[in-house]
Amino acid sequence: METHTFYKYQGAGNDFIIFDNRNELFDRANVDLVRKLCDRRFGIGADGLMLLQDVEGHDFEMIYYNADGHEGSMCGNGGRCIVAFAQDLGITGSQTDFLAADGVHHARIHANNVGWISLQMIDVDAVQQDGEAYILNTGSPHYIKIVQHLDTFAVFEEGRKVRYNDTYRDEGINVNFVQAENGGYYVRTYERGVEDETLACGTGATAVALAMAWRQGEDGEFETPIRVAGGKLTIRFSKAGDHFTNVFLEGPAEFVFKGEISW
């Protein structure tokens, strides 16, 4: 048994356990351990777990796991949280470039708005349709459907049906329900890998902003406010036809607590 220090961060209520794994003491392949630490009853509890590691040519590498131990896709809120963590560790200043599952990300910590982080997301070149829903990949795969009365909508049940239907069962998909409001959108997401509704999903909020602009069809520069259960996010991007560039996810990322755990 060895004792390990962990850190807990949250971004708009999407919560993460983070380890400084520059010493590589956390075994990347230990998926059972990831699952146990993320369990809200048997472990620390979180929507996901991240490892901050050293990597050639960038400030650090972000290794992200969903609560079920699944690794390999991007997490937008997690990305903003690990940037805050890197700054708290003194690894980076107010700007950083780091490596994640979907490539290199640039991020900026706003000096005049403490805890507000702007994270560049991958360019998007394709929006597909599945019936009335929109499908796109913003580092993770997303399904987006417009609904009425989102406040009382059965996100868990309806999200789960889509995530496990014949089309998506094997790979899984994150299911976002959206309703327009005051020049922006209200979004609730059923997350694959958590297999539940979370309070926020950064790649999901990004996918919603892009899909809604694609649906409207006009090109230009956009700044889209997105309200989620855990707070507010802003998505900035340029749209030219099916091409989305300069995509930024902006929102809060905060340290919650740190602790020690043995295994």
Rounded CA-CA distance 160/150 in Å is 16
Copy the structure tokens of residue 174: 């994150």
Core vs surface per residue 232-258: b (16+ CB within 10 A) or e: ebbbbbebeeeebeebbbbbbbbeeee
Q: Within a 13 Å sphere around the CA of 258, how many CA atoms are in the beta-carbon half? A: 12
Residue 228 near residue 201 (C-beta atoms within 8 A): yes
Give the active site residue among 75, 99, 144, 253. 75
Q: Which of 69, 159, 184, 193 binds ligand API (CB under 6 A)?
A: 193
Among 73, 96, 118, 176, binds ligand API (CB under 6 A): 73
Annotated binding site: 14, 66, 76-77, 174, 191-192, 202-203
User: Looking at the DSSP assignment, which residues form a beta bridge with residue 233?
Assistant: 226
Q: Does 75 bind ligand API (CB under 6 A)?
A: yes
Contacts to ligand API from residues 108-147, by CB under 6 A? 140
Q: Is 201 in the site for ligand API (CB under 6 A)?
A: yes
Q: How far is the CB of 9 from ligand API (least distance, A)?
A: 12
Please enumerate, by residue number, every residue annotated as part of a binding site for substrate.
Answer: 14, 66, 76-77, 174, 191-192, 202-203
* Piece of 30-38, 175-183, 201-209, 213-221 that binds ligand API (CB under 6 A): 201-209
When asked if residue 175 is in the footprint of ligand API (CB under 6 A), the reply is no
Closest approach, Cβ 73 to ligand API, in A, equals 4
Binding of residue 176 to ligand API (CB under 6 A): no
Q: Which of 18, 121, 199, 201 is catalytic?
A: 201
* Burial of 213 (C-beta count, 10 Å sphere; 0-12/13-18/19+): buried
**Residue placing its CB nearer to ligand API in the complex, 68 or 97:** 68
Question: Would you count residue 202 as binding ligand API (CB under 6 A)?
Answer: yes
Size of the site for ligand API (CB under 6 A): 15
Catalytic: 75?
Answer: yes
Residue that is written with structure tokens 């892009």 in the block: 210
Which residue lies nearer to ligand API by CB, 22 or 123? 123
Using an 8 Å Cβ cutoff, are 48 and 77 in contact? Answer: no
Q: Please report the sign of the dihedral spanned by the C-alpha atoms of residue 250, residue 53, residue 125, residue 176.
A: negative
Q: How far is CA 232 from CA 66, 98, 205, in A?
A: 22, 24, 10
- 201 belongs to the catalytic site: yes
For residues 84 and 90, which CB has a smaller minimum distance to ligand API in the complex? 84
Neighbour-count burial of 195, counting CB atoms closer than 10 A to its CB (0-12 exposed, 13-18 middle, 19+ buried): middle
Q: Which of 39, 41, 59 is nearest to 49 (CA)?
A: 39
Residue 56 vs 170, nearer CB to ligand API: 170
List residues with catalytic annotation. 75, 201
Q: Please report, as ranges, the residues that interact with ligand API according to CB under 6 A.
A: 14, 66, 73, 75-78, 140, 174, 191-193, 201-203
